[in-house]
Amino acid sequence: MAQIVIDSLRHSYDGNLSNPDALALKQIDLTWEDGRAYALLGPSGCGKSSMLNIISGLVRQTSGRILFDGTDVSDMPTEKRNIAQVFQFPVLYDTMTVEQNLAFPLKNRRLPADEIRRRVADVAEMLELGPLLKKRAAGLGAAEKQKISLGRGLVRSDVAAVLFDEPLTVIDPHVKFELRRKLKLLHEELGLTLIYVTHDQSEALTLADEVVVMAEGEVMQAGTPEELYERPSHTFVGNFIGSPGMNFIPCRADGERLAFSGGSLPLPPALSRKIVSGQSLKIAIRPQHLRHGQPRTERIAAQLVELLPRGDSYVADLRIGETAVAMRVPDDAELPSGELGVTFPPKHTLLYADDRLIGDLDA
C-alpha cells in the first residue's frame, strides 16, 4: 500500500503538448491517500482510463510525475510498479484452470508454493470461486470470468493500489450490485487502496470514500459523495451527478435580488460581494430540495407540465418563466394541476458565477 501522488500531469497521445485543447489530460494534480477507495467518474472520453493506464505504467505520460510514497515511478515499467489492474472485459488465460489463473500473478513473482496456495484459497473464498477452482476458465460465464479477473487483481496483498477500469460493465445488474458490495467489503477488510474508474454515478457514489469527477481531461471536483452531491463546485458536476441532474436557472444580480425569468430571490450581501460584473450567473438547486405549497415562505410561480413516474417517487416537470425545472415529489403527495408555488430553501440554493460555485443563498 502506498500514497500515490500525481504531479502536474499532462498527456497527449501524439506527444504534442502545444495545443491544450487536444490533450487527453490537461493538468492533473491529485493525491490518492493510502487505504482509501476512490472513484474516477466522468463521461466516456474524459481521460479517466488514460489516467489509470498512466498510474499503472501501461501508458507513459507526456509530462509530469507519478510518485508512489514519494518515489518517482514515471519511468518504471508496469511489471516493477507493484500495481494491480482489472480491465473492462474479462481477461483470462484460456488454457489454465481458475486456480492457475488466480495464481499466475504470484507465480510470476516467484512466491513460495504454499504461500500461493494460501492466497489463492483466500481470494477464492472471498469471491465465492471455491467450487470452480479446478475448472477450466475458458468455459465459464461472463460474471464468473470477471470475478476471476477481479481475483487476479486482489490476490497480491502487497500492491500499492488496485485499479479498476469499469470492471462491472459486462455484468448483469443484480450480480453487479452483489459484486460492488463485495468489493466495498474487501476494501474495508484488506485496507486496499482502490481506484475505480466508472461512468456510472451510482457505482461511484456507493463504492468510494472520495469521488474524482473528470471532464475533457480535467478534474472538475474531488470530494466525498456528499460534497459532490450537495455542493458541486462546477455546473458540470451538478449536471452529471444526480438523476435528474441539478436545476440551473440563468439569472442576474439586481441590487439585493437575483432576478430570473419568472421571478426573483433575495441575494445576501456576503454573496453579492463575490460577484464580478460581467459574469454569467446561475441559480442551482437539486430536484429534491425544491418544495411546494409551503406557507410563510417566498414562493415562485411554476407551471406543471408533466408528472413523470420514477418508481418510488415522481419527478414533476415544471416551467418557471422560460426555464424547465425538475422537482422530486414523493409518491403519496398530491399536486395541484396547473400553477403551483415553489420554494427555494436558501441553504440548498446555490449560486454559480461563470459555472463555478460561489456560495449558497443562506450566506
Q: Within 13 Å of residue 234, how many CA atoms lie on the same side as its CB?
A: 13
Question: Would you say 91 or 363 has its CB closer to other proteins?
Answer: 91
Contacts by residues 107-116 (CB-CB < 8 Å, ≥ 24 positions apart): 109/156
Contact call for residue 13 and other proteins (CB under 8 A):
no
Q: Which stretch binds other proteins (CB under 8 A): 49-57, 185-193, 289-297, 344-352?
A: 49-57
Q: Which stretch binds other proteins (CB under 8 A): 24-32, 42-50, 77-85, 257-265?
A: 77-85
Q: Within 13 Å of residue 158, how many CA atoms lie on the same side as its CB?
A: 7
Contact call for residue 79 and other proteins (CB under 8 A):
yes
Question: Would you say 75 or 331 has its CB closer to other proteins?
Answer: 75
CA distances from residue 161 to 83, 115, 207 in whole angstroms, order as listed: 6, 21, 15
Contact call for residue 95 and other proteins (CB under 8 A):
yes
Q: How is the beta sheet containing 313-320 ordered, strand by strand?
A: 291-292, 339-343, 299-309, 313-320, 323-330
Which 100-139 residues touch other proteins, going by CB under 8 A?
104-105, 108-109, 138
Question: Would you say 13 or 93 has its CB closer to other proteins?
Answer: 93
Contact call for residue 76 and other proteins (CB under 8 A):
no
C-alpha cell at position 29: 494534480
Cis peptide before 244 (omega within 30 of 0): yes
Q: Which stretch binds other proteins (CB under 8 A): 64-72, 88-96, 214-222, 320-328?
A: 88-96
Interface residue with other proteins among 17, 74, 87, 299 (CB under 8 A) is 87
Which is it for the CA torsion 126, 129, 131, 136, positive or negative?
Answer: negative
Which 279-298 residues touch other proteins, going by CB under 8 A?
none
Interface residue with other proteins among 1, 17, 30, 58 (CB under 8 A) is 58
Question: Would you say 193 or 233 has its CB closer to other proteins?
Answer: 193
Question: Would you say 14 or 79 has its CB closer to other proteins?
Answer: 79
Interface residue with other proteins among 30, 63, 74, 89 (CB under 8 A) is 89
Interface residue with other proteins among 91, 259, 275, 307 (CB under 8 A) is 91
In Å, the largest CA–CA distance within the chain is: 76
Q: Are 221 and 228 in contact (CB under 8 A)?
A: yes
Whole-angstrom distance, CA of residue 237 vs CA of residue 243: 12
Q: Are 272 and 256 in contact (CB under 8 A)?
A: yes
Q: Are 195 and 55 in contact (CB under 8 A)?
A: yes
Which 190-219 residues touch other proteins, going by CB under 8 A?
none
Q: Are strands 162-165 and 84-86 parallel, antiparallel or unpaired?
A: parallel
Contact call for residue 303 and other proteins (CB under 8 A):
no
Interface residue with other proteins among 152, 289, 292, 348 (CB under 8 A) is 152
Whole-angstrom distance, CA of residue 141 vs CA of residue 164: 20
SS3 105: helix
- For the bound state, the minimum distance from the C-beta of residue 303 to other proteins, rounded and expressed in Å, comes to 51
Interface residue with other proteins among 8, 16, 31, 78 (CB under 8 A) is 78
Q: Residues in the site for other proteins, rule: CB under 8 A?
A: 53, 56-58, 77-79, 83-85, 87-89, 91, 93-96, 104-105, 108-109, 138, 149, 152-153
